[in-house]
A and B are shown apart, each in its own frame.
Chain A
Amino acid sequence: MVGVVAYGFGPIKKKSLVNSLKHITRRLCRDHGINMQDIGLIVHTGTYRQNFRQEPAFATHLQQALNIGCEDIGPTSKHVFSFDVLDGTCGPHHALETIADLLPTMACKYALFTAGDQRPNKETEWNHNPISFAAILSEDGPIQLLDSSHDYTQQNDFTSTAILKKKYHSEVLRSEPQRTEHRIEDDLFVASSEWLSGEQASRFFEWATSKNGIITHRINNQNGRVSELRWRVNGE
């Protein structure tokens, strides 16, 4: 079982995404007495990167900014494994599940999960105010990830593509997005389809910390893809 030990978030404002997440992670570790060198896995999720970057994984840039595991291999050197897991606004669910799958077999105490986006370039229309989110997970974190389910039976033809505009690539939407409003039904948290990954994670965990027992986080993506994670809060 893997659970969230601590989390933090904030608006990216004018910072780069990597700097925004670096500051949040450092603050998080400082405030919770977590030794950053005990982090051995970083998994990032998001939809938009600077200039629609494809490689390397964003998580590698964050690892470098945090300066953890950044030494060549020796017989006893300690390392970090970093990569991204992506699926639009459902990305946080797959990323958290991936951490739950990998962390118990790794020789490290903590995993770092991050979610965030930034405007790719000045030609891309941008109506978002992205939130940068970071969480530290361990095998005994108090907000425990129980299981997941994914339903793609209602997937529609909505797509987002980056195509050359003038000098830079810009996002073009095809087909009508499916809108889902945010609502809460007892222990079910249904996210807005308008939220980017950082807001998905921050809004849910803020709500989760006020709860007790088993709760569900559902994300309905704009393309009709639905994913759910079930969590146990406070160990009940």
Chain B
Amino acid sequence: MLSPVEGLNTQISGFACYLPPNVKRSEDTVPLGTIPRGIDFKRLTKIETHHEVLDGQGSLELAVQAANKAIARSGVSKDDIDLVVSCSVTKLNAELQNLIEPCLASHISRALGIDAQNFDVANACSGMVTGLLIADRKIKAGKIRNALVVSGEYLTGALYEALDKNLLFNPKALASLTIGDAGGAYVISQSKEERIHFFEPLTLAQYSQLCIGDAAVGRPGPAMRTESRKLQKAALKNLTSYIKRDMKSPEDFGSLHHFISHQTTPRAVNKGASLIGESFGHPDVVRSISHTGNTASTSHAAVLETLLEDGQLAPDQKIYFMSFGSGLAMIGMNFHLPREVDTW
């Protein structure tokens, strides 16, 4: 349980997702016959397309694109940003070389011209919500005014690593076929009223071996090995128990306009929606997208951006983020949309 922090309040003042305009259709990337036993990838996952980096783009460039958009929408001057937290799982340049030092946040800050404390957070696909929690606490402690929480996920190197494997003998590489590239960013700021609430962050570490992302062996870039059935089972098993710990009644849940879970596959999100429907009675607020694939830490931002483009977001709407990350990390967070969102 997280105790409320008295005094200063916080709000999300800007958010954005950047999807590189290089769209790949699932039937072209993973054609029938790729997955053993004649399984159709698109039918299995409900993923229609994913996006891939353009030439010259890596994690940094994806993050900077999203950050510029989020900062512009927030109306916050770069001079007033006191913290930059980078939350990417991948820290790859365009040549699939993995940045070790300095932190990716320092490169992002320099590219944006922001002179502020910066560091990286590593918490897999829960990285951005973890970054938001840290920034929220710093604002509430009066240490900073505004923070940029940002991520650039150049993941598709792992997709092609998996496609080079015989998937019959490497079933743990199958989940890598679901991924796509994206950048995501949030600006979190001081507020006169409380507009963000975090639920208890936790890690069910008994599942920490179920999804491992390492440097690939024998080729540039990353490789991901996932026991996806076990991981999905663990996430679904704990989903409603998690929400019930902090949300005491179906009415609480009914006050949400959009429930956005980490997007592994639309099929998995739909399974979660069914469980939520059984427990809370509002499966219709669960949002799912099929055009990005799993974009790791940026997946919540990708859904928000899609809802914005589709005209489904309105000022003050209440959003719930349910974050899942390899580990198995779970963090819930609800917030009210900025009042200016309809002008973006």
Contacts and interface: CB of A to CB of B under 8 A. Distances in A.
Given A56-B208, A107-B1, A162-B98, A150 B137 contact: no
B200 A54 contact: no
Interface stretch (A7-15, A85-93, A212-220): A85-93
B84 to A, nearest CB: 11
B119 A87 contact: yes
Given A60-B203, A74-B241, A55 B97 contact: no
B315 interface: no
A102 B133 contact: yes
Interface string B227-241: 000000010011001
Contacts of A47: 100-101
A34 interface: no
Contact of B212 (A56, A101, A158): A56
B102 A88 contact: yes
Interface stretch (A19-27, A167-175, A183-191, A202-210): A167-175
A82 B121 contact: no
Interface in A105-145: 105-107, 120
B176 to A, nearest CB: 12
Given A55-B212, A56-B124, A73 B205 contact: no
Contacts, number: 221
Contact of A57 (B110, B133, B327): B327
A54 B214 contact: yes
Interface in B55-114: 89-91, 93, 95, 97-103, 105-106, 109-110
B205 A69 contact: yes
Contact of A98 (B90, B134, B224): B134
A85 B119 contact: yes
A60 B127 CA distance: 13
B192 interface: no
Interface in A53-91: 53-61, 63-64, 69-75, 79-88, 90-91
Contacts of B100: 47-48, 52, 88, 159-162, 171
B181 interface: no
A205 to B, nearest CB: 21
A192 interface: no
Contact of A160 (B101, B119, B241, B328): B101
Contacts of A73: 202, 204, 238, 241-242, 245, 330
Nearest to B126: A83
Given A52-B98, A75-B245, A81 B202 contact: yes
Given A64-B205, A69-B203, A171-B100, A83 B238 contact: no
A83 B103 contact: no
Interface string B1-31: 1111100000000000000000000000000
Given A48-B100, A72-B241, A88-B101, A155 B217 contact: no
B112 to A, nearest CB: 13
A167 B203 contact: no
A73 B243 CA distance: 10
Contacts of A152: 106, 109, 115, 118
Nearest to A82: B203
A152 B119 CA distance: 12
Interface of B: 1-5, 89-91, 93, 95, 97-103, 105-106, 109-110, 115, 117-127, 130, 133-134, 137-138, 141, 143, 200-206, 208-209, 211-220, 222, 224, 234, 237-238, 241-242, 244-245, 325-330
Given A42-B203, A56-B212, A61-B205, 20 more contacts: A51-B215, A52-B214, A52-B215, A55-B89, A55-B326, A57-B123, A57-B124, A61-B209, A70-B206, A79-B204, A81-B203, A82-B205, A83-B121, A84-B123, A88-B102, A107-B2, A148-B117, A158-B102, A162-B97, A164-B219
6 contacts: A54-B89, A55-B125, A74-B241, A87-B120, A155-B102, A221-B101
Counting from the closest, the 7 A-B pairs by CB-CB distance are A79-B202, A83-B123, A63-B205, A84-B122, A64-B205, A73-B241, A55-B213
Interface of A: 42, 47-48, 50-61, 63-64, 69-75, 79-88, 90-91, 94, 98, 101-102, 104-107, 120, 148, 150, 152-153, 155, 158-164, 167-169, 171-172, 221-223, 225
